Amino acid sequence: PKENTFKINAPAPSNANTQSKEALSSQIDITIPSLTLITPYRDLEEYYFTPSTYENRESKEQYISSQSGFYTPNDTLEIILPPLSKNTDYARLDSNPTLTPILQDISKIYNPIIFSYRILTLRIAYTIYEYLLIVPKTIPKFITKLLKEQREKEELGYGYGRFIDLGRDYMRECNIGEGKNGDNTKISLLNIQGKVLLAPNGCERVRVGVR
């Protein structure tokens, strides 16, 4: 039976509801989620980071051009992602021919109407790591209300929850032309090591640390 079945004639039924909400609120972790990327490099001094595929790192889109660059392990990156869309939302990642088959496979489980797809790329020397973020688009209303009460306005973009490794690692190739004037006679073929992460609900901003 439902909880209130035996409390219809209670003198203060609203008090029970209040206690229930308070108990639920105490179990909700409103800590700002962060993503720590652990590399195999012990003496890491510098790395390249871009909130896009590596092939698209020189895009003139503001969120890419303003955040792509070299960083050190002492830096904490505050990465702004494109706003989540109610429509099918790959943020144009599906235009990448070597990434498209991977997206198609994953989207069979994580519907792009319900989940948005974002990507972060880390390069150290000749090694490229790619992190495909699967972002649930919505946050339950009562959690949104709680976050608004206990976080600063600019902190709401971090979303609710944590980053979870979905265990769907992949490998793809990246061709980087080195020729001039359109002459790509010299081409570097690099392997990209990919990892798929379930991101916090409503995540449009990521706090990243690289170690």
Residues shown for the chain: 211
113-133 pLDDT, tens digit each: 999 999 999 999 889 999 999
DSSP string, 33-90: P-EEE--S-TT---EEEESS-GGGTT---HHHHTT-EEE-TT-EEEEEPPPP-SS---
In whole angstroms, what is the distance from residue 36 CA to residue 38 CA?
Answer: 6
Give the pLDDT confidence score for residue 166 in this predicted structure: 97
209: three-class secondary structure by DSSP: strand
Q: Is the dihedral of CA 146, 152, 154, 159 positive or negative?
A: negative
pTM of the predicted model, to two decimals?
0.83
pLDDT bin (cut points 50, 70, 90) of residue 106 is: very high
Q: Which of 89-93, 128-132, 142-146, 179-183 has the lowest mean pLDDT?
A: 179-183
Q: Is the dihedral of CA 62, 68, 71, 74 positive or negative?
A: positive
Give the pLDDT confidence score for residue 179 in this predicted structure: 45
Residue with tokens 């002459």: 183
Give the pLDDT confidence score for residue 193 in this predicted structure: 97
70-81 pLDDT, tens digit each: 999 999 999 999
pLDDT at 61 over 50: yes
Give the pLDDT confidence score for residue 188 in this predicted structure: 75
Give the pLDDT confidence score for residue 27 in this predicted structure: 79
Task: Sketch the domain layout of the chain as residue ranges.
Answer: 28-210
pLDDT at 146 over 90: yes
The DSSP call for residue 201 is B
DSSP β-bridge partners for residue 119: 132
155-189 pLDDT, tens digit each: 999 999 999 999 999 999 998 765 444 444 455 78
pLDDT bin (cut points 50, 70, 90) of residue 4 is: very low
5-26 pLDDT, tens digit each: 444 444 444 554 554 666 666 7
